[in-house]
Each structure stands twice: as C-alpha cells, then as structure tokens.
Amino acid sequence: MIIAVDGPAAAGKGTLARRLAQHFGLGFLDTGALYRAAALRALESGGDPADPAVAEAAARRVSPEDIGDRRLREERVAQAASIVSAIPGVRAALLQFQRDFAARPPGAVLDGRDIGTVVCPGADVKIYVTASLEARAERRFQELRRAGEAVIYERVLQDMKDRDERDSARRTAPLRPADDAIVLDTTDLDAEATFQAALAAIEKKLAGKHRRDAR
C-alpha cells in the first residue's frame, strides 16, 4: 500500500504521514528532507543553489545518511530547498530513490509536494493537507522557537509566502492536489483531530476500492 501526503509548508504533513505509517505498519519517507539535503550540500559547496550545475551536482551526492542532519530544519535551508527543487535536473536526480522506497514491501507513506501527482501517481490513497497561511506560519514560528532559532513571526510569514509561491508557480512538478486526492484543511484541527479525519477518509476510500475490486 502506498499513501501519498502532499501540501504546503507546515500544514501538518509530516506529523500525519508519520502517524499513518505507524498505524498501517508502513515505511515512511520525508521527501522534503531530500531536497533540503541537496540544498545544504549546495550551500556548503559555496556555490549558488540557483545555479543548475551546482544544484544538480549536490542532488546527485545526496545519500540516506544526510536525512538525519539537524541543520536540514534551518530556515535558510528550507528557502534554498525551494530554490533547488524548481530545477528539473534536481528533481530527476531524486526521483528514483523515492520510487524505490515506495516500491519496497509492505509499502510506504511519502510526504512532499508532488507524491500524488508525479512520484507515485498510482498511490492507493492520496491526501492533500492544507491550512491557512497564518496558521501555518504560526506553527512554523513555534517549531523554530522550540528548536532554539532566533525568529521573528513576520519574517517566518514572509518566508512561507515566498516558498508557497515558488513551489506552486514552478513548471516542473508544481504544488497542487492530485485530481483524486482527499483534501484535508487542518487550520482548526490539532494533530490528533487531523489523524482521525484522515483515517476516516482513508477507510472510506479503501472500502470503496475493495467493493470495486470484488465486483
């Protein structure tokens, strides 16, 4: 079983995807971490992350060990990730790893921007998690504060707006819900309520699928 969880920054994708993976006994991949790792490698090389040659070389060097690096969560890395991720060669370099991960039995939950549309268009369940810009900025602000970063709310809000625009406007794999995605607005839902709403929608979807398969 493959579950695709997509949506904009700080909508609650990661928390939901992790819980779904645990609930269904599936693997979990945070695909944003791969783009963040490519961005961090590009920044560390001293080159410009917007330069396709620099970004593609960095993406090709990304390895599973990179995912644990704490620096990936820094805001400068998030911004650079949304720059490198608009470069087609970067997306191509990271695509097979994601597909191989999803194909490994018994299946997986992947969270990102284009899982339901590009990486796993045949996923059994697709969820698009969203929330108002203000709710997402507030969540990210609290998250960064807890991590000890010196942050200003207005700055976080602006960074998120910039990133949303870049992610939605890019030509390759823009952020958008798949036609067959379940859309979940978490503006007024906490993590538990989000999980319960997703679970109810998934069970309904799978029951419909089984009925169709049995016919």
Q: By CB under 6 A, name the binding residues for ligand CDP.
A: 9-10, 31-32, 35-36, 78, 81-82, 85, 112-114, 163, 167
For the chain, the farthest-separated pair of C-alpha atoms sits apart, in whole angstroms, at 59
Supply the minimum distance, in Å, between the C-beta of residue 175 and ligand CDP: 7
* Closer by beta carbon to ligand CDP, 121 or else 208: 121
Enumerate residues 6+ apart whose C-beta is below 8 A from 16. 5, 111, 127, 129, 191, 194, 195, 198
* Closer by beta carbon to ligand CDP, 3 or else 10: 10
Supply the minimum distance, in Å, between the C-beta of residue 64 and ligand CDP: 16
Supply the minimum distance, in Å, between the C-beta of residue 197 and ligand CDP: 19
Provide DSSP, 33-99.
HHHHHHHHHHHHTTS-TTSHHHHHHHHHT--GGGGG-GGGGSHHHHHHHHHHTTSHHHHHHHHHHHH
Cα–Cα nearest to 3, from 22, 196, 11, 132: 22
Supply the minimum distance, in Å, between the C-beta of residue 157 and ligand CDP: 13
Q: ω into residue 52 within 30 of 0, thus cis? A: no
* Number of other CB atoms surrounding residue 202 within 10 Å: 19
* Closer by beta carbon to ligand CDP, 147 or else 207: 147
* Closer by beta carbon to ligand CDP, 16 or else 57: 16
* Closer by beta carbon to ligand CDP, 98 or else 200: 98
Supply the minimum distance, in Å, between the C-beta of residue 163 and ligand CDP: 5
